[in-house]
């Protein structure tokens, strides 16, 4: 291989690595509307993000998402934190937008008892496993 061909191959390889690194996510999966399951470092470290009109991703529900579900009004996520505690978060979709403050659209963290007592039977949202 000539030095010029080697240089061009190296440049092309660098461009390919650069393009793959642009997303920065090890997992990016559309849920509904502007909401995505995102794993930044490892595929199992899932959070829910909102994709803005500018194309940026803004965190909405912290990791690790183990189940999620939605209907026309709400997005619900079951999470497990680093202490193996289970929590639920509920996004009221109609109140969420690019610059919304989470106190206006997000309920949680809720314990499993709080979620079952106040939300589960009222919303009847079927949950899906996140992995």
Q: Where are the domains of the chain?
A: 24-129
Per-residue pLDDT reduced to its tens digit, 82-124: 899 999 999 999 999 999 999 999 999 999 999 988 887 777 7
Query: Is-cis flag, bond preceding 64, omega within 30?
Result: yes
For the whole prediction, is pTM greater than 0.85?
Answer: no
Cα–Cα nearest to 68, from 27, 129, 7, 9 = 129
Residue % of the chain over a pLDDT of 70: 80
Residue 110 near residue 86, CB atoms below 8 Å: no
């Amino acid at each position: 291989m000539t030095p010029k061909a080697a240089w061009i191959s190296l440049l092309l390889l660098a461009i390919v690595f650069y393009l793959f690194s642009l997303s920065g996510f090890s997992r990016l999966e559309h849920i509904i509307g502007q909401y995505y399951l995102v794993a930044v470092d490892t595929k199992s470290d899932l959070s829910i993000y909102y994709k803005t009109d500018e194309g940026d991703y803004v965190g909405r529900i912290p990791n690790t998402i183990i189940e999620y579900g939605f209907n026309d009004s709400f997005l619900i996520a079951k999470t497990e934190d680093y202490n193996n505690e289970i929590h639920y978060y509920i996004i009221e979709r109609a109140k969420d937008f690019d610059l919304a403050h989470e106190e206006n659209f997000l309920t949680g963290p809720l314990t499993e008892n709080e979620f079952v007592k106040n939300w589960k039977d009222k919303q009847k949202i079927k949950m899906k496993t996140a992995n």
